[in-house]
Structure 1
């Protein structure tokens, strides 16, 4: 799988899916608080496995798709910030 260049936060994509529906109504339909959904929509929180399942059921999407989108976003962000000095780990020679 190739890495996406600057993937959007899943909240941005979700905002488009919910066009015309209030955050309050969508939150009620998902069974979450308005604050929890608002944090996702504004990129302040990520999609959890539980939220993924709620979204997949409510929006008729494939389970895991929202969580995978979050994972892609998180990995891209981590790769941008990664500066750690890491040394290779090689298996020790076995005594023979």
Structure 2
């Protein structure tokens, strides 16, 4: 598995910047707070299922695209710490 980018990076570089959208304007379009959107774009929080729907409607993508990016990002990060996760195997 490669090191996938945070979905906020993709959103910022592939969707927001090419369309010259401000954070404020995109937040208005999506119907979310500027602060909420900013935390995603600054890679502080992830893409929720609801946000995936909002982004898909705004940009003509699918919610699965955004959820898939988020899943890959989180799983990669978790696997980096796998050796520190200790559980008892269920027989």
Q: Say yes or no: TM over 0.5.
A: yes
Mark the structure with the bigger radius of gyration: 1
Between Structure 1 and Structure 2, how many residues are aligned? 87
What is the match of residue 29 of structure 1? 29
- 1: CA distance between counterparts of 2:39 and 2:6? 12
Provide structure 1 residue ranges, at least 5 long, that are not aligned to the other structure. 91-96
Match of 1:18 among 16, 19, 37: 16
Corresponding residue for 1:93?
Answer: none
Provide the secondary structure at the position in 1 that maps to 2:63: coil
TM-score for both structures, normalised by structure 1: 0.85
Other structure's SS at 2:45 match: coil
Counterpart for residue 74 of structure 1: 74
Poorly superposed stretches of 4+, deviation over 4 Å: none
1:62-82 CA distances to partner (integer Å, 9 max, x unpaired)?
122101100110000001012
Instruction: Say whether the 8 Å CA contact 2:55–2:61 is kept in structure 1.
Output: yes
SS at 1:86 equivalent: coil
TM-score by length of 2: 0.89
Alignment root-mean-square deviation, CA: 1.1
SS of 1:64's equivalent in the other structure is helix
Question: Residues of 2 paired with 1:62 and 1:86: CA distance?
Answer: 36
Distance 1:21 1:85 in 2: 45
